[in-house]
């Protein structure tokens, strides 16, 4: 068990679930967000923190042994907001990890790092990045930060290109990209417990029938998803498809390829 595990973004949709599902793997959980959280339970610490505040993040990281970094904006916003939460935030997390000897970080990247690939492509973990939004750009930057801190300081990281993490797939696109909450927890567990990961990029997806991504390059993590979007197929395919000329149908990033500009 990890002596003290830091979970950022603990008040978010995924963070609230991970707060309980990751508890068996840590003796102590330190939970952070800027939004309101439930009071600390047994073996929990609650600490509010602005990710753009370097000193506050440094204090947040101190005493932790591993970090699951889910914090930041989870969809597209004007660049100025993305810069504060997602770009400064991830750099501050890694700098805090360096200063305090944290050996492993699990970074919540996103499929939107590769969103401008066509939907008829199957991508490996080493594919060309094609961000589809300011949000996707920030996650691409985070992957570079993770690689840099591995190369220079030996901090091991997994960059999780999370697909569509919801209780169930919402539409036709998510039949390809869905990641169940159970599989998300298992993927993070694998990233925390695998003996050596260096900097590993892995796509966060369940065992869906027609995936757009291939995780052969991350096989050393030992991740084996248990769920699939298949039970939802007939219902989701009963809705009319998008127009073939709609960029949200052509590109893997879906609606993110059309987000902004925000003037």
pLDDT tens-digit map of 106-127 = 999 999 999 999 999 999 999 9
User: What CA–CA distance (Å, rounded) separates 244 from 215?
Assistant: 28
Q: What are phi and psi of 214, to 5 degrees?
A: -130, 125
Q: What are phi and psi of 24, to 5 degrees?
A: -65, -10
Q: What is the pLDDT of residue 164?
A: 98
Known catalytic residues are 135
Per the prediction, the chain carries an average pLDDT of 97
**Residue tagged 């595990």 (tokens):** 5
**Mean pLDDT value across residues 205-220:** 98
Q: At what angle do helices 13-21 and 181-193 cross, to 10 degrees?
A: 60
**Mean pLDDT value across residues 79-90:** 97
pLDDT tens-digit map of 230-243 = 999 999 999 999 99
pLDDT tens-digit map of 156-203 = 999 999 999 999 999 999 999 999 999 999 999 999 999 999 999 999
Residues 6 or more apart whose CB falls under 8 angstroms from that of 195 comprise none
Residue 39 is given by DSSP the state P
What is the pLDDT confidence band of residue 261, given thresholds at 50, 70 and 90?
confident
Q: What is the pLDDT of residue 142?
A: 98
User: What CA–CA distance (Å, rounded) separates 210 from 58?
Assistant: 42
* CA nearest neighbour of 153 among 200, 195, 96, 90: 96
pTM score over 0.95: yes
- pLDDT of residue 263 exceeding 80, the answer is no
Reported in sequence order, the residue ranges of the chain that DSSP labels E, i.e. its strands, are: 2-8, 26-33, 44-48, 66-69, 104-110, 123-124, 156-162, 164-165, 178-179, 199-204, 213-214
Could you name the CATH architecture of 2-258?
Answer: 3-Layer(aba) Sandwich (3.40)
């Amino acid at each position: 068990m990890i002596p003290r595990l830091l979970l950022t973004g603990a008040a978010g949709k995924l963070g609230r679930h991970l707060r309980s599902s990751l508890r068996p793997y840590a003796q102590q959980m330190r939970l952070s967000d800027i939004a309101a959280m439930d009071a600390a339970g047994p073996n929990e610490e609650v600490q509010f923190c602005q990710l753009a505040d370097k000193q506050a993040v440094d204090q947040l990281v101190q005493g932790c042994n591993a970090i699951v970094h889910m914090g930041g904006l989870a969809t597209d916003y004007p660049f100025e907001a993305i810069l504060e939460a997602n770009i400064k935030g991830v750099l501050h997390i890694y700098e805090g990890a360096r200063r305090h000897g944290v050996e492993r970080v699990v970074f919540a990247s996103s499929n939107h790092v590769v969103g401008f690939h066509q939907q008829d492509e199957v991508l490996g973990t080493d594919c060309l990045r094609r961000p589809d939004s300011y949000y996707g750009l920030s996650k691409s930057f985070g992957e570079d930060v993770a690689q840099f801190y591995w190369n220079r300081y030996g901090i091991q990281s997994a960059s999780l290109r999370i697909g569509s993490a919801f209780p169930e797939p919402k539409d036709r696109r998510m039949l390809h990209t869905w990641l169940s909450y159970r599989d998300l927890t298992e993927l993070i567990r694998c990233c925390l417990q695998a003996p050596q990961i260096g900097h590993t990029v892995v796509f966060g997806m369940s065992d869906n029938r027609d995936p757009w991504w291939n995780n052969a390059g991350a096989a050393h993590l030992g991740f084996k998803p248990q769920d699939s979007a298949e039970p939802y197929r007939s219902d989701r395919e009963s809705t009319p498809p998008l127009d073939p000329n709609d960029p949200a149908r052509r590109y893997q990033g879906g609606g993110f390829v059309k987000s902004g500009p925000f003037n």
